[in-house]
Amino acid sequence: MSTAAPTPRKSSSGPDGLAVSGSELPIGNSPTAALDGLEHSRDTFITHWAEMGSSWGVPRSVAEVHALLFIEGRAMCADEIMERLQVSRGSVSMTLRTLSEWGIVTKTHQRGDRKEYFEAEQDVWNLLSLIVRARKRRELEPLLAALDETRHAANGETTASDAELKAHIARLDSMHDALQRLDRLSDRFIGRGGKGLDVAVRVLSSFL
């Protein structure tokens, strides 16, 4: 088991916690030896990126696949990914679809090869923009719409025209307005081909 996944979340039945330990790196001949350190470094990156992802609500394996493609910096096919990460074909398939929907991974082909290859956006600012865009659409906007509706429904309340109702509506409004401002702001900065976020950060950095 030389190419184990970065994070072996799957407990093997036997007491072999260290099976994947020191016996794989130093083996091989010269070119392999050189790559082993890299491989390990990549694993580390993948592990940390996946951990952050999962604490932000991104399924661990989605983050892992993305991390792998990002840090390898080249197109890989499903087989290679599942081998490297030790996950099932089905999982890789769904994961790649998710990443494609977010726009941070793109499908490519290699001539003479029937398989599909995938590669990750390499520009980090562009990457972040795409992520923001996806989450904004999927999560922020629906919330805004819901708040808006709730606010209007509450406004139509006939029964209570007292201070309490006013305060309630004010709360809904303040939440809605703040989120809407963030929403609109992000529109502008993710609009221009991914460099917007970079620009925004630079502007703000020099400001305060």
| E strand or H helix that includes residue 98 | helix 89-102
Nearest to 135 by CA among 103, 105, 170: 103
Query: Residue 172 touches which of DNA, a copy of itself, none (CB < 5 to 8 A by kind)?
Result: a copy of itself
In whole angstroms, how close is the CB of 92 to a copy of itself at the nearest point?
Answer: 22
H helices present in the chain, as ranges: 30-55, 60-72, 78-85, 89-102, 124-135, 141-155, 163-191, 195-207
Interface positions with a copy of itself (CB under 8 A)? 33-38, 41-42, 44-45, 48-49, 51-52, 54-57, 70-71, 73, 122-125, 128, 138-140, 143, 146-147, 150, 153-154, 157-160, 162, 164-165, 167-168, 171-172, 174-175, 177-178, 181-182, 184-185, 188-189, 196, 199-201, 203-205, 207-208
Torsion over CA: 89, 94, 100, 104 (sign): negative
If the CB atoms of residues 15 and 156 are measured against DNA, the closer one turns out to be: 15
Looking at the Cβ atoms of 11 and 206, the one nearer to DNA is 11
168 binds, options DNA, a copy of itself, none, Cβ within 5 to 8 A by partner type: a copy of itself
Within 10 Å of residue 207's Cβ, how many Cβ atoms? 6
Does an H or E element contain 77, and which?
strand 76-77
**Which residues form the interface with DNA (CB under 7 A)?**
9-11, 54, 59-62, 77-79, 86-91, 93-97, 113-116
Element (DSSP H or E) covering residue 116: strand 116-120
**Toward a copy of itself, which CB reaches closer, 74 or 97?**
74
- Give residue for tokens 């221009």: 192
Q: How many CB atoms lie within 10 A of CB 65?
A: 30
Nearer residue to DNA within complex by CB, 94 or 200: 94
